[in-house]
Amino acid sequence: MDSRSIWVRVPGTSANCGPGFDSIGLACTVYNDLQLRLTEEEGCRITISGAGAENIPCDQRNIVWQSVQYLLQKAGMGEVYKGAVMHMENNVPLSRGLGSSATAIVAGLKGANALLNNRFTRRELLQFATEIEGHPDNVAPAIYGGFTISTVTKGDVECFTLIPKLRLKLVVAVPDFPLSTKKAREVLPEAVSIKDAVNNIGRAGMLVAALCKGNEKFLRNVFEDALHQPYRAKLIPGMYEVFKAARNAGALGASLSGAGPCLMAYTLQRRHVEEAVGQAMQETFAQYGVHADILLLDLDTRGAHIINDK
């Protein structure tokens, strides 16, 4: 007998947030939705609409379906539910640094878990998602919402979630070219200097403290990074100039979103500032021959959730 159908909504995410390489992330108000129905018949039928639909596999390679199967195996239900019917409605740009793969993993896990009457806790879902993705910086905010700080100790993932005492607006410049995480990781060095490590430890700590306290003054210098952005800059024409333009237009700061190529500026919620920052980022990218769309987003504070259950 077929199971019931369920809809899951998962926010896009931005990892690193400047100095928090592979550990700090945030969830933002752009979403991928998944409709999932488990079946006892073998095979998965997948339909996809929206961002990147033509580039997402509709067979066994589909990461949502792989994540569904992963959870079913963990629950000992893989032999009961051998197939699924899935429909994906995507708004998160593909291969742009807004966590599209994390939304797929979390959607599959969250949806399958809901259909098994929430057998696993959110923390267990985080553990599963990290095992699939390899690191928690994107999957954690996709699950929990807000800002997340994650550590992995002997394979065990811990995640601290916070909602800042500031009304932030996220201004995202989305370039018209993709950048694979694999390629963006290949340019990173094997080792870094003590000076660069200290730079990031101090700024990551200051970022979290300023968000917790709601002190905007201390956010103005925290987004600078020495561990990954300098090496990835050559993959994104005009990156530092776009950062500078965003700050000059009134942003608190700006950083590479995940592995890029999206760039994210952080502002306080003042409409004229948000729009000015977006325009400045777009115009500066254009000077380097890059067309970029602008998204004005808020912090998502809910994380992945079920939007209907029927």
Report the C-alpha gap between 232 and 237 in whole angstroms.
10
pLDDT of residue 51: 85
119: pLDDT strictly greater than 70? yes
The whole-model pTM stands at 0.94
CATH of residue 144's domain is 3.30.230.10
3 state SS of 107: helix
CATH of the domain at 182: 3.30.70.890
Domain that holds residue 174: 168-298
Q: With left for phi above 0 and alpha for psi between -120 and 50, is residue 17 left, alpha or beta?
A: left
- Euclidean distance between CA atoms 200 and 83, whole angstroms: 45
Q: Is residue 303 part of a domain?
A: no
* pLDDT, position 1: 41
What gap in Å lies between CA 255 and CA 229, rounded to an integer?
A: 8
Q: Residue 178 has what pLDDT?
A: 85
Q: Which residues contact 210 (CB under 8 A, 6 or more apart)?
A: 216, 217, 218, 219, 222
User: Quick one: 119 and 27 in the same domain?
Assistant: yes
Task: Say what the pLDDT of residue 181 is.
Answer: 84
Last residue of a domain, one of 163, 180, 196: 163
pLDDT attached to residue 17: 96
Average pLDDT over every residue of 207-226: 95
**39 shares a domain with 90:** yes
160 bridge partner residues: 149
Examine the fold and report which residue of 147, 163, 179 is the final residue of a domain before the chain moves on: 163
Number of domains in the chain: 2
Residue 306 belongs to some domain of the structure: no
Same domain, 159 and 174: no
* Percentage of residues in the chain having pLDDT higher than 70: 98
Residue 304 lies in a domain: no
Q: Could you give the CA distance from residue 169 to residue 246 in angstroms, rounded to a whole number?
A: 13
Residue 49 covered by a domain: yes
pLDDT digits (tens, 9 = 90+) for 45-70: 999 999 888 888 888 899 999 999 99
Residue 236 lies in a domain: yes
